[in-house]
Amino acid sequence: MSEYSFVKGHGTENDFVLVPDAQGRHELTPEQVVRLCDRRAGIGADGVIRVVRTDATDDPAAVAARGEATWFMDYRNADGSVSEMCGNGIRVLGRFLATHADVDPRDPLPVATRGGVKVLTFADGRHDGDVTVDMGTPELLGDTEIGIGERSWPAVHVSMGNPHAVAFVDDLADAGPLTEAPRHDAATYPDGVNVELVVRRGEHHVAMRVHERGSGETRSCGTGACAVVVAAARADEAPRGTAYAVDLPGGTLSITWTEDDRVLMTGPAVLVAEGLTAL
Ligand SMILES: N[C@@H](CCC[C@H](N)C(=O)O)C(=O)O
């Protein structure tokens, strides 16, 4: 066993263990990620983010981003699986870099992910305000279906770099507790899927629950909220540039699908603890 330093944080209560690893010395095994995320025997989290410099890892996404981004978000779900992107996690990573690394919150911060380089901006150039992430261009990939228990719903397939199925439902309670991964079309989603259940709350205002691939039901999912806004804005025929409020069990995110076909998400990013852990 060796000692690792960690930082614990959350974005709208989607919580993460960050493992600062600037020099790329702490490649994590799936078993180590599972132990870190264990809510009884570990620190507890929905996922782990190893924060590594792009020039200190040979992950192909980091290598491709060298010259464009100094930092790479190596994201793992609670079951140890890898994901392309995490919208809440990248804001928390930005908060960590703005407070613990040589990052000036007055400047845009490009961060490499397996879903491409995403650019963060800090409200008012401050290290302690909301963080906006340019999530890039979404992909609307057609219709699909999801099932929970005895029920099923039509859903919209949206990629935010990672896969989503967005289902509009009559009532968020209809699905009951999301204790198991929802049924989905394995041909459409060969690597699994994040599933969002959505209701409308008002004009350009929705509420959602999410079952995350690799983590189960969580209190928020940033990429999921962006996928929901893309599906809702298309259904509403909302003009590009319309801001949507998305209520999640852990808080509210503000999301805009812009005229130039990018999704901007703004929300909180909070660091709550730091220390050492044996792995
Ligand atoms: N919570 C995240 C998404 C994390 C990855 C997801 N579970 C997947 O496997 O794609 C977010 O805030 O976007």
Q: Where are the domains of the chain?
A: 3-135+268-278, 139-261
Out of 91, 213, 226, 252, mutate this one to test ligand 1's pocket (max ligand atoms within 8 Å of CB): namely: 213
pLDDT tens per residue, range 11-41? 999 999 999 999 999 999 999 999 999 999 9
Query: How far apart (Å, rounded) are the C-alpha atoms in residues 123 and 115?
Result: 24
Out of 17, 212, 263, mutate this one to test ligand 1's pocket (max ligand atoms within 8 Å of CB): namely: 212
pTM for this model (two decimals):
0.97
Query: How far apart (Å, rounded) are the C-alpha atoms in residues 81 and 61?
Result: 16
End-to-end CA distance of the chain: 5
* pLDDT (0 to 100) of residue 245: 98
The SS3 call for residue 124 is helix
What amino acid is encoded at 166 in this protein? V
Q: Do domains 3-135+268-278 and 139-261 have the same CATH topology?
A: yes
At 1, the pLDDT band (50, 70, 90 cuts) reads confident
Spacing, Cα 250 to ligand 1 middle (Å)? 15
Q: Could you say which DSSP state residue 225 is in?
A: H
Architecture per CATH, 139-261: Roll (3.10)
pLDDT tens per residue, range 33-78? 999 999 999 999 999 999 999 999 999 999 999 999 999 999 999 9
pLDDT tens per residue, range 221-255? 999 999 999 999 999 999 999 999 999 999 999 99
Q: Tell me the C-alpha to C-alpha distance, in Å, between residue 261 and each of 65, 145, 149, 234, 270.
A: 22, 26, 36, 12, 28
Q: Under a CB-based contact definition with an 8 Å cutoff, are residues 241 and 256 in contact?
A: yes
Q: Which residues pair with 121 in a beta bridge?
A: 132
Q: What is the ipTM of this complex?
A: 0.99
Mean of the pLDDT values across residues 253-269?
98
* Residues tagged active-site: 86, 221
Q: Which residues pair with 155 in a beta bridge?
A: 144
Residue 119: CB atoms within 10 A of its CB come to 19
Domain spanning 3-135+268-278: CATH 3.10.310.10: yes
Q: Ligand 1: which residues within 6 Å by Cβ? A: 14, 47, 77, 83, 86-89, 162, 194, 212-215, 221-223
pLDDT tens per residue, range 134-172? 999 999 999 999 999 999 999 999 999 999 999 999 999
> Hey, whose CA ends up nearest to atom 1 of ligand 1?
221
Query: How far apart (Å, rounded) are the C-alpha atoms in residues 72 and 111?
Result: 6
